[in-house]
Amino acid sequence: MPQTERPDEHEGHAFVASGSHAGRPGSWLAVIVIMLGFTVGGVGLCLGPNWILIGVGIGLMVIGGVIAMAVDIFSDVIVDSRRDVPAQEHHSPFERHRLRVEHHRAERRIEHPAEHRHEA
């Protein structure tokens, strides 16, 4: 089935259906080689360090990087339609604690105003 041009194609690359984040096999090969290198290097660090395993891991990561550049891994980026998510108010636990303390102090000032005149 031939692929037809769509008006939403970007920079000559074929349109990839929205929601599909699968990538191409060459890209996955690059990612797997890089992850394998990272794992081998990490095991080498845990074993002593074992400099041979660390070197093999670094070599695999470099090979994976070369594969990634060769298959143009960055062209796998999918540009989805814009999502406008409304901003929601969020308070961290520390901010909630600060607000609770300030509220408590304000209540104490109302109950005992003479004792808290030095607090501004």
- pLDDT tens digits, 57-86: 999 999 999 999 999 998 887 777 777 777
The pLDDT assigned to 42 comes to: 96
d(CA 63, CA 75): 19
The pLDDT assigned to 5 comes to: 47
The pLDDT assigned to 57 comes to: 97
d(CA 119, CA 101): 14
b/e map 6-17, b = 16+ CB within 10 Å: eeeeeeeeeebe
10 φ, ψ (degrees, to nearest 5): -115, 125
- The residue type found at 1 is M
d(CA 100, CA 36): 49
Beta bridge partners of 13: 10
The pLDDT assigned to 26 comes to: 92
Looking at the whole model, is its pTM more than 0.75? no
The pLDDT assigned to 7 comes to: 47
Query: Which residue positions in the chain have pLDDT lower than 70?
Result: 1-21, 90-91, 112-120
Which residue is listed with tokens 């670094």? Answer: 58
